[in-house]
Amino acid sequence: MTRAHVEVFQGWVIEIRSASTALNKHKGLQQLFTWLMLDEQDIDRSPMERVKQSTTQKKIIPVIREEDTKKVLGTCKGKDFVQLCDGAIIRFYSNTGARLSEVDTLMLDDIDLDTNSVHYHGKGNKDRRVRFGHKTARAISRYLRTRAKPRGVELPNLWLAGRGVRPLAPNGIKIMLKRHGVAAGLTGVYAHRWRHTFAHEWKRVGGDTGRNDRATPATSAGPSR
């Protein structure tokens, strides 16, 4: 493999994916050929020599406005099982800044309505307890009362799909959020936009946005608490 091969590969990755993906591939190849040269001594020199890294543009992180969150929540009005479930999930994302998987994998035991807090199981086995506001607490309380009626009531999972016969999968949440976004006349409604918004509001009021998965107070949670 030569420098020309690496440059062609890098250009192909930029064309079909992105410059940031090409940069990650570049770093991985650097480590591979350094290992082959120094540790394994299978090659005399690395073909990565003088191969420039792809330049990436800093992207503007999309956030969701408070009025847009209200529009999405407005499409969940109703007292049936599905509407109450959808509304509670949306409030969890907008109020706690959690990841898609963290909300999806919640169990009934993770919710504490005495302290208005939730136990999230984060990435890398980093658990944390996060406070949520009174509107979110009221939404989850209403959902739990309705949840006691479906056939899947014995399941330990917090969120149940359809008529409550099985746990709600992550892809089901993605589809649900997109559906309510379209109903609200919005595009690009997904869980991570509320996470970006949460981090933006938290930093704006002087909070630390370091990725240490510490417990986060409800007062930092932005709109629709």
Pair (168, 198) in one structural domain: yes
Pair (214, 116) in one structural domain: yes
Pair (81, 50) in one structural domain: no
pLDDT at 210: 56
Whole-angstrom distance, CA of residue 21 vs CA of residue 103: 28
Report if residue 131 sits inside a domain.
yes
Pair (7, 72) in one structural domain: no
Token pair for 89:
């999930």
Grouped pLDDT means (10 residues each) for the chain, 225 residues: 90 87 92 93 91 76 85 92 94 91 94 95 84 95 87 85 80 94 92 84 68 43 45
pLDDT at 29: 94
pLDDT at 33: 93
pLDDT at 37: 92
**CB-hemisphere CA count at 13 Å for 85?**
21
Q: Tell me which residue range forms the domain holding 104.
A: 66-220
pLDDT at 207: 65
Report if residue 184 sits inside a domain.
yes
Token pair for 92:
């969890």
Pair (55, 127) in one structural domain: no
Report if residue 225 sits inside a domain.
no
User: Residue 209 maps to which CATH number?
Assistant: 1.10.443.10
Report if residue 132 sits inside a domain.
yes
